[in-house]
Amino acid sequence: MKLLVVGSGGREHALVWALDRSPQETELFVAPGNGGTAALATNVPIKAEDVDGIVTFARKEGIDMVVVGPEAPLAAGLVDELNAVGVPAFGPTAMASRIESSKSFSKRFMREHGIPTGDFASFTDYASARSYLEAHPAPIVVKADGLAAGKGVLVCETDEEAQDALRAIMVEHRFGAAGDRVIIEEFLTGQEVSVLAFVDGKRVQPMILSQDHKAAYDGDRGPNTGGMGCYAPAKVLSQPMLQRVVDQVLQPVVDGLREMGAPYVGVLYAGLMVENDHFSVLEFNCRFGDPEAQVILPLLETDLLAVLGACVNGELGQIALRWIDQTAVCVVMASGDYPGDYEIGFEIEGLNRLANMEDVYAFHAGTLLDQGRVITDGGRVLGVTAWADDLAQAMDRAYEAVDQIHWPGAFYRQDIGAKGLVKEA
């Protein structure tokens, strides 16, 4: 099987790593990949957003299946274009991926289908949005409608912060065209959990639950990021509650999109806020989470390639997912000042010391290879991941590994997994 993974982050490195372990014979390509994927696959210098370039490469190379990592090429119609020329692809079409790429579409869809979510209003006009904020005091959440790499969500504790957030999105265009429309949303409290599921157009099979840490600093403080670390499985939902999430959230999305003529194939990711026995959807993503993929995939015992193939062929009913009975923790090491302006181009030192550590792996996110040296090349640089018999051991191992790795300005949260320890106690 010739496989092409699209993307260049930690999620894509984890996908390549898991596909490389498949018992099936595979030849792996990544477009464009990073300094870590180069060790397991052939990096092809085509950007993830270059739909034409990827389609041309896939046809020329005779790729048997394309696995799309990030949301941008999905929203741009990469899967539609691949389907049109007969190349099988794992991921939703542009229409179906609107469940992530337009927050207003997603919120309206939830309202129409009775999917539990916070109250909201959506605006394209700055003056109306301002008056709405005046009538709805903080705490409140202001979100850019379009794709903004996880950073377009501003949780505001004061009225002043809320007005500043609105101005940043609608007047200063901090998130570009993603902010032409804003969503203003009720502030929800509780525990967050990521529920990812494989979908084959009709059926839904949830994966183990995971918990991301989206805020930049310890104790969930500071600006939102793409995700600073993660652990799985997260014990935030009981089995009966997870079944309710499948019945009341995931299956209605898949059924509703199919009825709209936009059948959903790929990973459907629901970000939930959970309080006692109540849950509410914060957002949907149309793909694996990043860093969620880095803790979920190492624990997947079933052959990932078989699962992805079953989704693409509408045969998920024939797959029984099996999971390794361990806990995984991923600590994201980021460039200094991420998610603000940061410097890249530093050599990463110490990665080779991880080779001697069992059940530890550094997934590369923003790196490149330069004459054998690994150089920082993005905001999130590495997802240092460890898996062990319980959460506490996995945390110890992951931080032991992080301690081995250095570059100027590197920063990471010290408390990834701590929320899970509190829950266990």
Report, in Å, the least distance between residue 289 CB and ligand GLY: 4
Among 209, 292, 366, 398, binds ligand GLY (CB under 6 A): 292
Positive or negative, the CA dihedral 70, 71, 73, 74 is positive
- What is the Cα–Cα distance from 402 to 415, expressed in whole angstroms? 13
- Residues 165, 95: Cα–Cα separation, whole Å: 29
> Which value, in Å, is the radius of gyration of the alpha carbons in the chain?
20
Residue 187's binding partner out of ligand AMP, ligand GLY, none, with CB under 5 to 8 Å set by partner kind: ligand AMP
Smallest gap from residue 185 Cβ to ligand AMP (A): 4
CA distance 269 to 54: 25
CB of 250 to ligand GLY, least distance (A): 16
Cβ-contact 31, 46 below 8 angstroms: yes
State the minimum distance, in angstroms, from the CB of residue 369 to ligand GLY: 25
Asked whether the beta carbons of 103 and 183 are under 8 A apart, the reply is yes
Q: What is the contact surface with ligand AMP in residues (CB under 6 A)?
A: 118, 141, 143, 150, 153, 155, 185-188, 192, 214, 224, 271, 282-283
Give the CA dihedral 56, 57, 61, 65, nearest 10 degrees: -90
Binder of residue 200, out of ligand GLY, ligand AMP, none (CB less than 5 to 8 A by kind): none
Residue 155 touches which member of ligand GLY, ligand AMP, none, C-beta under 5-8 Å by kind = ligand AMP
What is 71-105 written as a DSSP string?
HHHHHTTHHHHHHHTT--EES--HHHHHHHH-HHH
Going residue by residue from 208 to 247, which x/- string records binding to ligand GLY, judged by CB under 6 A? ----x--------------x--------------------
**Which of ligand GLY, ligand AMP, none has residue 206 at its interface (CB below 5 to 8 Å by kind)?**
none
Segment interacting with ligand GLY (CB under 6 A) among 180-188, 285-293, 319-327, 387-395: 285-293
Which tokens in the block code for residue 424? Answer: 């266990």
Stretch of residues binding ligand GLY (CB under 6 A), selected from 61-69, 127-135, 259-267, 286-294: 286-294
Nearer to ligand AMP, 189 or 371 (CB): 189
Pairing of strands 327-334, 380-388: antiparallel
Q: What are phi and psi of 310, to 5 degrees?
A: -65, -35
Between 92 and 201, whose beta carbon lies closer to ligand AMP?
Answer: 92
Q: Which does 309 bind (CB under 5 to 8 A by kind): ligand AMP, ligand GLY, none?
A: none
Conformation bin of residue 291: beta by default, left when phi > 0, alpha when psi is -120 to 50: alpha
Strands 191-200 vs 204-206: parallel, antiparallel or unpaired: antiparallel
Nearer Cβ to ligand GLY (200/292): 292
- Supply the minimum distance, in Å, between the C-beta of residue 134 and ligand GLY: 31
Torsion of CA 149, 150, 151, 157, to 10 degrees: 170
3-class DSSP assignment, residue 40 = coil
- The distance of closest approach from Cβ of residue 295 to ligand AMP in the complex, given in angstroms and rounded to an integer, is 16
Minimal CB distance residue for ligand GLY: 227
- Site residue total, ligand GLY (CB under 6 A): 7
Query: What does the alpha-carbon distance between residue 194 and residue 207 come to, in Å, rounded to a whole number?
Result: 10
Nearer to ligand AMP by Cβ, of 283 and 377: the residue is 283
| Binding to ligand GLY in span 128-157, by CB under 6 A | 150
Angle CA 71–72–77, to nearest 5: 100
Q: Which residue lies nearer to ligand GLY by CB, 15 or 129?
A: 15
From ligand AMP, ligand GLY, none, interface partner of 180 (C-beta below 5 to 8 A by class): none
Residue ranges in contact with ligand GLY by CB under 6 A? 150, 212, 227, 285, 289-290, 292
